[in-house]
Each structure stands twice: as C-alpha cells, then as structure tokens.
Amino acid sequence: MCAVLFFSNHIYRIMRFELIFIFIFYLLFIPGESTARNQKNTTEAAKDIVKIAPLRNPDRGFHLESNYFAHDMTNPFRKNEIFPNGFIEAREKAFDSESENLTLLQLYVYLTEWVDKDISQEGLENIQVIFDELKKYGYKAILRFAYNWEGLDASGGESEKWILRHIEQLEPLLEKNRGLIATIQIGFLGAWGEWHTTPLQNDFTAKSNIVNALLKVYPEPYSIQIRIPDHKNRLNLDNEKDKTRISYANDYFTAGEHSHAPGNDFVPGSKWYRQIERESPWFFMSGEIPYDENTEWGLAALIDPETTLRILRDHHYSAFDLTQNYQLNIKSWRNIKVYPELLVKNNILFSEDYFMDEKGNRVNRSFFEFVRDHLGYRLNLTGSSLKTKSKKLLYDLEFTNTGFAAPVNSKPVYLVFIDESNNVKREVRINADPRDWQPYDYNKQSYQPLRHRLTGDIPVDLAGKYRVGIWMPDPDKSLQYNGVYDVKWVPNKNLSQWYDNDGKYAVNIIGEVVL
C-alpha cells in the first residue's frame, strides 16, 4: 500500500505532473482518431455510454481496501474507525460501488503489537471475526499481514524469528479460512508490508525462509504475491516448482508514466514487464494506482487508458484496486467510452454481445465497466450439443474466455440435472481444469480468442425431463454449497442462469434433455 507520503522538494516534478494532468484531462476516446477528446465534449461522450449490469464472480474484479490493527481492531490511519466501521458496507458506499457486485477486499492486518512476541489469543480471534464478516458479504480477501504502518521514515522492527513464529501461529486460521482467501500477499516486511524500508532489506536468506514458510501454510494451487520480480528472482526455495505460483502485487501501477516507475512499476518494454508477461497466465495478478496526490510518490495525473488495457491483458490481471486513486483516475474511467474498434486496434478480447443492448442495438460501454467486467475471467458459451444414448448424456460444449486471465484459483466443474420441480437431482463432476481456459495463445501472442471445448459422456440413471447446467462451486468444503461463490458464465442466447431457493446453487443452464 502506497500510504500518504511527504511532499517532494523537487518542484520540477510537481510542475511536470500538473502539466500532464492539465493536458490529459482534456482528452477522451473517439473512434477513428486519437484515443482522446477535448474536455468540452466529455458530457456528450458520457451520454453515449450505456450501462451494463455487472456479473458477480469470485476471485476477480475491482477490489476495495480495509486496514486494521489486530490487537484493537482500529484502522491505523483513522484511529476512530473501529471495526466494523471501515469495512465492506462503508467502503462500498465511499467508492460508489454498492451496485457493482464486487467480491474482493484487500485486507491489511497489522500485527504491530506483537512484532517481538507471540500474537495473543485475542488477536487471533479478532482476525477470525473479520473473516466471519467477509463470508457474510460473500467476499474474499486479498490478504496481507504487516507491522510497519507508519511508512518510509519508520522501522517496523520486524525480524525473521518472529515472522516465522507468527506464520506458525496463523497457520490454523489460514487453513480454516482458505476458501475466503483469493491470494496472500507475502507482506510482513517493511513499510505497509511492501518489502522496502525493512531491517531485513538485504537478507535474502531470511526472506527465502519467510516465503518458504508461507508457501507451506498456503499450498498449491493457490498463489502468493510478492512485490517485484527482483525479489522473486533472488529467493532460494525449498521447492523450485513453487516459483510458478509466486505472483505479483503491483503497488505502483502508473502505466509506466510516473518518473518513479522504473524500479517500482512494471514498465512496458522493460525486463520486468517481459518476465511477468511470461509467468502471469498461471497465477493471481493484482495492482493499484498510487494515491492521487501531488507529492513525489503520488500520481496527480491521468494515466493512458489504452496502455492500461494492454498491460491488464499482457499481465493477466485478476484484480485491481478501486480506492487509492479513485477520485482522479478511477472516476475518470466512468466517462471514457469503449467500443469494438478501439479494442480491435489494441488487440483486446471481447464478445460482440457485450456491445449490444437488450434490443440488439450496438452501444458503447464505459472504460470503468469494461475493466470491471474483464478483470480475471469472463466465460462465454458459443455452442452446445446435448444428446442421450443408452442412459448416457453425450455433451459437446464450445466456449471462449474474453477476460484478461484464466480462473487461476482452481474450481471443480460439474454437470448438474435439474428436474421440473426445480430440484438438483444429480451432480456429475467432469474432467476439466479451468486454469487451462486461457483467453488467448500467450506463447504466440496471437491475441485471438482461444476456442475451448468440453466434450465427453457421462452415465445418468434418471428418467424424465431435465435442464442441464454447468456448476462451478468453490472447492473449499465450507463454501461448496454457497451459491454466492459459484462461477457464473455470461448469459447469452446459448446460456441462462438458475438459482435454487436455498442459495446452494448458481447454475449455468446449457440445455434440456429427456432421459
């Protein structure tokens, strides 16, 4: 987290950002010309945008942010904000996202009170209370533990000995709540857990030991996130295969346009950028824009939306922060229009249906909504065949994924049979790994949507008329029959959605059969 930072004495940097802000503020996308338009047409452009309802899905999308000390449940940055104040409802309201169907909360848990001693039982219970509330809202956490909340001019005093002890203490809690964690950011070290400004700055033996401990308590196939590639590249892992599930939290997403981007952001064309491009199809990737403040480290300028889209695509982003630069960049995205020609020009995947209204008319969408809807996965059924033969169902499904990423957190895939009384009569798991459902051939960089196919036959000892659907629940037993956490495919002419009355299922209906 790039917390509030001090004003720079370098006046030329401030003047530079003010000029950039004034220039880009006057720009907005139009088809067939540059990607921008004069500010006097902003209102007119916004009128051209037609809203589209969000599709609520787990492990993907924009995320909110909450911060708490584990010892007293207060926000380190607003001491009068005591849990549950500052939690999901408050954050949704503060960032105009009550109707956005968000599912992710970046959760900073500060262990400051116990930097050199055991976490108390009360502290562990406080953390569990937060997880219990997450489940009530149908959210998951992008989780980070840290000690130093004060920033760059302070030391958290953290040590390898006590970090390893705290990971040991946290293991039962992490196991119990595994289904409620989208990813764990390695954290612990340095200011806000970002791995800088730490007593262990150059101790990569200690850092390796800490990462190995966290990999053990949060096992595959889940990802843990590190700050930059150089940190990852210097680790000595107990199991080198685990490097494939060490992903990145880009806490300084500036589209490469900030003067401090080199060494902090993953700048297009750089060595870091290319490394992440190779690695990112297989893990959970997230980012956040620095605070919109006119300081040395802040970002008081609008970043280029087209460059942003290409980065989200190249690095397979599953999540992106809504909060830190909300008033400037994120809000501006609501008035920037996106349309097929713009996306084709930039090799960004989309479904034609996305740009059609309910009457079949071509419309424009907002940049905000396009990013919201395409972070992570977006599954589109393009064709299906269901046949019955000798007590078997023969199925053949074709689909695309037009999101920025695959469903990197593993999900089982079932075919379910729903009778005429709206009861699920049979669940049959099929052989499929959604982590393979990549948007495009990243090796060839073709930027054409991959055509995926599920085909096979399953025995079905049923009689009568049934709707058949794809059911993708959470693999964690505590969430398996909680439909809020089920994966929803895009409703279209080939697919509709069905929900049971008890909230156990969210099923993607693909057809009907008579058995």
pLDDT 10s digits, 114-138: 999 999 999 999 999 999 999 999 9
pLDDT above 60 (res 274): yes
The percentage of the chain sitting over the pLDDT mark of 90, rounded to a whole number, equals 87
200 within 8 A of 207, measured Cβ to Cβ:
yes
Q: Provide the pLDDT for residue 31.
A: 37
Q: What is the pLDDT of residues 378-391, one digit of tens each?
A: 999 999 999 999 88
pLDDT above 70 (res 6): no
Q: Provide the pLDDT for residue 447.
A: 94
Short-list 180, 88, 91, 101, CA closest to 143: 180
Q: Provide the pLDDT for residue 13.
A: 36
Q: Provide the pLDDT for residue 510.
A: 98
- The Cα–Cα gap between 284 and 63 comes to 13
Phi and psi of 407, rounded to 5°? -70, 85
Average pLDDT of the segment spanning 191-195: 93
pLDDT above 80 (res 89): yes
Average pLDDT of the segment spanning 448-468: 95
Q: What is the pLDDT of residues 200-242, one digit of tens each?
A: 999 999 999 999 999 999 998 899 999 999 999 999 999 999 9
H-run or E-run covering 459: strand 452-459
Q: Provide the pLDDT for residue 397.
A: 98
Q: What is the pLDDT of residues 282-297, one digit of tens each?
A: 999 999 999 999 999 9
Q: Provide the pLDDT for residue 188.
A: 97
Average pLDDT of the segment spanning 56-83: 97
Q: Provide the pLDDT for residue 156.
A: 82
- The Cα–Cα gap between 506 and 487 comes to 8
> For residue 355, what are the contacts with CB-CB under 8 A and spacing of at least 6?
339, 340, 362, 363, 364, 365
Q: What is the pLDDT of residues 316-341, one digit of tens each?
A: 999 999 999 999 999 999 999 999 99
- The Cα–Cα gap between 439 and 458 comes to 27
Cis before 434? omega within 30:
no
pLDDT above 80 (res 45): no
The percentage of the chain sitting over the pLDDT mark of 70, rounded to a whole number, equals 91
First to last CA, the chain: 56
- Give the Å distances, CA to CA, from 245 to 39, 203, 221: 43, 22, 7
Average pLDDT, the chain: 91
Phi and psi of 388, rounded to 5°? -115, 145
Q: How confident is the model at residue 17 (pLDDT cuts 50, 70, 90)?
A: very low
Whole-structure pTM value? 0.90
Average pLDDT of the segment spanning 174-181: 97
In the block, which residue shows the tokens 């409703």?
491
In the block, which residue shows the tokens 């073709």?
446
